[in-house]
Amino acid sequence: MTGPLLQVRGVETYYGKIQALRGVDLDVENGEIVALIGANGAGKSTLMMTICGSPRARSGAIRFDGSDITAAPTHQIMRSGIAQAPEGRRIFPRMSVMENLQMGAAVTDMTHFADDLERIFAMFPLLRKRSGQRGGTLSGGEQQMLAIARALMSRPRLLLLDEPSLGLAPIIVRQIFAAIRDLNRKQGLTVFLVEQNAYHALKLAHRGYVMVNGAIAMTGTGAELLAREDVRAAYLEGGHG
Amino acid sequence: MEYFVQQLINGLTLGSIYGLIAIGYTMVYGIIGMINFAHGDIFMIGAFVALIALIAIGLTAGAGLVIVILALLLALLIAMALTAIYGWTVERFAYRPLRTSFRLAPLITAIGMSIVLQNFVQVTQGARVKPLQPIVTGGYEIMRTTTEHGEFIVLVSNIQILIILTTVLLMAVFALIIARTPLGRAQRACEQDRTMAALLGINVDRTISLTFVIGAALASVAGLMYLLYYGVIDFFIGFVAGIKAFTAAVLGGIGSLPGAMLGGLIIGLIETFWSAYFTIEYKDVAAFSILVVVLIFMPSGLLGRPEVEKV
Ligand SMILES: Nc1ncnc2c1ncn2[C@@H]1O[C@H](COP(=O)(O)OP(=O)(O)OP(=O)(O)O)[C@@H](O)[C@H]1O
Ligand SMILES: [Mg+2]
């Protein structure tokens, strides 16, 4: 395979008459961690969801692993090897933690369920203790871990994470970022993440994009973006946001 | 006492039929938040398919027990399969195109579908009632007392036993499917968050279709039972039974499966006891009054969960 694992070209997305994405261009190479940062309402979550076909791009093209997925139905896109831990976590509230994880494994028809479950529990030991508990009764941090764990259960090649550190204690954030780096290094998992926590995200990522008003305004390696004055001023108030 | 026991048995029988229909209302509401007003007519279609199947099988009076059971089983399977196709078709062509439309559109379409199905059966099968000669006969005497008014016997007919047992069995299987299988999990996931279910690779449209198929299949079983129990059907039976079953679903807590089963039983019992001890004219009023009272004090029904906005 040549070319990027994920290729986004000129994508425009609307909510009714409101335009949320204004011609987004972006690539995620195989084996990379790419961070997307931007102000509230910039369109980051919309891009994550548009990649998954929900909502669908009105114009432009999205290619995954060489094939055009712009018009594919969401469930087929997800079955082709993309997983997302979306904004708001979207844990099934009236299902147990275990059932939420089983839902994550739905695309693999549960063939590797037992093995993957052990890996996940090693990564997030807390989830093992909570496995019989209903998703809706978990704390915010626990739900975030579950959302990431559930996404991993599908054995994706591309993992989309929408603000994985939101609402988590710093120690848990470090743990999750370490887990992401680990998955990337050891298993070659490609990760595309949105973060408010720009400092940590750009430290973690190989490359980053800055989104302003529904379009990409800047791009570069994590270190390059961190070094730029305008980026620091806009997204890293106080130095280490 | 004997009279009470007899009414209890009759009420449970009727309640079983309502419960099976109520599941279809509650499942569809749970997954797409819509009241499928045509569901009562799907039940009626089920009864007609069963009738046609039984006539085609050509069971004669005096057939052996094994033959009767096989014939009923065959009629049941035919009714379930064909009625499920009706349920699927209604969803696919009448409701799905309107799923993203304004809230009232599918509701109005459902009322329209109800009229279409009734008229379709009226035109193709005629407007007069259709009788079926009794197939399952006999029963057991479980109590007998002699008073100054004469003898009173409590009877459980074979058909009542058949109806109650089949319902219990079906509901157990159905509850197991919903609780334990990947299909049931996908169904519940779509109910709780359709977008997320799709993000996990679930084909939401197919899951919704399946919900209609399962609901229709269960309603057709109720249709066959109704046919065997009352011996006559017409194109209009879906209206009253449908409203009763809908009431049962609301009473139990719309969206709740155990609620639908419980609500069905309660409505069946109320109706039977009211007719037995008070007057038969007001039996429907009684059932609906109970509904109103319950909803005043428990707005989400007996087993429904309180409506909480998602964050
Ligand atoms: N379902 C929706 N309907 C209408 N407008 C929406 C919807 N979702 C998002 N928007 C609008 O689209 C724009 C982009 O929103 P989006 O959620 O993608 O931003 P974001 O970059 O993820 O912001 P945040 O950092 O706050 O999560 C916003 O102006 C928002 O109001
Ligand atoms: Mg967002």
Q: Which two tokens stand for residue B204?
A: 């939401």
CB B23 within 8 A of CB B170: no
Q: Where are the beta strands (DSSP E) in A31-125?
A: 33-38, 59-64, 67-68, 82-85
Task: Categorize the per-residue pLDDT at A88 as very low, low, confident or very high, splitting at 50, 70 and 90.
Answer: very high
| Structure confidence at residue B305 (pLDDT) | 76
| Structure confidence at residue A172 (pLDDT) | 82
Q: What are the contacts of B131-138 at 24+ separation with CB within 8 A?
A: B131/B231, B131/B232, B132/B51, B132/B54, B132/B55, B132/B227, B132/B228, B132/B231, B132/B232, B132/B233, B133/B61, B133/B231, B134/B61, B134/B231, B135/B54, B135/B59, B135/B68, B135/B71, B135/B72, B135/B228, B136/B68, B136/B72, B136/B162, B136/B228
- Of A11, A36, A45, the one to substitute when testing ligand 1's pocket (max ligand atoms within 8 A of C-beta) is A45
**A88 CB under 6 A from ligand 1?**
no
pLDDT score of A6 more than 60: yes
Which residues in chain A are contacts of B208 at CB distance < 8 A? none
Question: What proportions of chain A, in percent to the nearest 5, are helix, strand and coil?
Answer: 40, 25, 35
Separation CA B85–CA B213 (nearest Å): 7
Residue ranges of domains in chain B: 2-165+203-297
A72/B contact by beta carbon, under 8 A: no
Separation CA A151–CA A86 (nearest Å): 9
List phi, psi (to 5°) of A54: -150, 90
| Structure confidence at residue A162 (pLDDT) | 96
**Helix (DSSP H) and strand (DSSP E) numbers for chain A:** 10, 10
Q: Report CB contact under 8 Å: B200, A54.
A: no
Chain A residue closest in CA terms to B204? A75
The closest residue, in CA terms, to atom 29 on ligand 1 is A41
A103/B contact by beta carbon, under 8 A: yes
Which residues in chain A are contacts of B189 at CB distance < 8 A? 92, 95, 103
**A15 CB under 6 A from ligand 1?**
yes
A154–chain B nearest CA distance, Å? 8
Which residues in chain B are contacts of A75 at CB distance < 8 A? 198, 201-204
Which residues in chain A are contacts of B257 at CB distance < 8 A? none
A3–chain B nearest CA distance, Å? 25
CB proximity list for B65: less than 8 A, separation 6 or greater: none
Task: Categorize the per-residue pLDDT at A161 as very low, low, confident or very high, splitting at 50, 70 and 90.
Answer: very high
Of B193, B195, B200, the CB nearest to A104: B200
**A18 CB under 6 A from ligand 1?**
yes
ipTM of the complex, rounded to two decimals: 0.94
Which tops the pLDDT comparison, B186 or A165?
A: B186
Cα separation values, A52 from A84, A91, A109, Å: 8, 18, 20
In this predicted model, what pLDDT tens digit does every residue of A184-193 receive, in sequence order? 999 899 999 9
- Each of the 311 residues of chain B gets a pLDDT tens digit; together they read 778 888 999 999 999 999 999 999 999 999 988 899 999 999 999 999 999 999 998 877 677 888 888 999 999 999 999 999 999 999 999 999 998 888 888 889 999 999 999 999 999 998 888 888 888 888 888 877 777 777 788 888 999 999 999 999 999 999 999 999 999 999 999 999 999 999 999 999 999 999 999 999 999 999 999 999 999 999 999 999 999 999 999 999 988 889 999 999 999 999 999 888 887 778 778 878 887 888 888 888 888 876 544 43
| Structure confidence at residue A229 (pLDDT) | 85
List phi, psi (to 5°) of A19: -90, 120
Separation CA B161–CA B103 (nearest Å): 42
**A43 CB under 6 A from ligand 1?**
yes
Cα A239 from chain centroid? 24
Q: Report CB contact under 8 Å: B200, A78.
A: yes
